[in-house]
Amino acid sequence: MNAKRTITLGVFIVATLGVVLSRFYLNVQNEHWDEKRVAVEKAYVGSMMTKASKVDFFYGDEPFQIVYGENKLGQRLIAWVSAEDVHTDMAEEAFTEEQARAAVLKKAPSSEIERAIPGKLGNDYVWEVFYKTKDDRGTRYFYDYYTFKDGTYLDTYRLSLQ
C-alpha cells in the first residue's frame, strides 16, 4: 500500500511538473510566434506575397522580420518587414544564399559559416553571412555583407577574439 501511494504521488508530481513547464514554454514562445504572424500578415498586405514558408529575424541598425514566400504564380519572394515598411525582392533575380556562402568560403576557405540571412546595411539590402575562423590565437567571428541583388562585396565586421 505504501509503495502504491509513493508511485501515485510520483506520477502526480511528474505530470504536474510537465503541465507547468509546457505552459511556461508556450507563454514564453507566444510573443515570438505573434511577431512572426504579424510579419507574415504585413508581408501579405504590403507585397505580392500570397504564401509564406519561413520567418527569420535580422537585428541591425533597424530590426527586420525576413519573410520567405511565394506570389500567386509560385515565384519565390523575400520580404523585409519593419515597423514602418515592407520591401520585397524576387529571389530568382538576386544573389542566392548559396552564392553568399560560397563567396565567404572563397575568401576564407577554413571558415565555418554559422548562418546567412537577408538584412539591411545602411541603405543596401544585403546578405549577412556570420562565420568564424580559428587560428593559433583563438576563434574570431565575422559578419560579411554582400548586396542582395548582385552579390557585390560591401564590408566585413570583425568581432574580438574569443
Domains observed in the chain: 2-93 (3.10.450.40), 97-158 (3.10.450.40)
Give per-residue pLDDT as tens, 110-159. Answer: 899 999 999 999 999 999 999 999 887 888 999 999 999 999 999 999 98
What are residue 119's phi and psi, to 5 degrees?
-160, -160
Using CA atoms, how far apart are residues 52 and 41, in angstroms rounded to an integer?
9
- What does pTM read for this prediction? 0.77
Give per-residue pLDDT as tens, 35-86. Answer: 888 888 998 988 899 999 999 999 988 899 999 999 999 999 999 999 889 9
What are residue 58's phi and psi, to 5 degrees?
-120, 130
As a whole-number percent, the residues of the chain with pLDDT over 90 amount to 58
DSSP class of 16: H
Specify the amino acid at residue 89. Answer: D
Specify the amino acid at residue 123. Answer: N
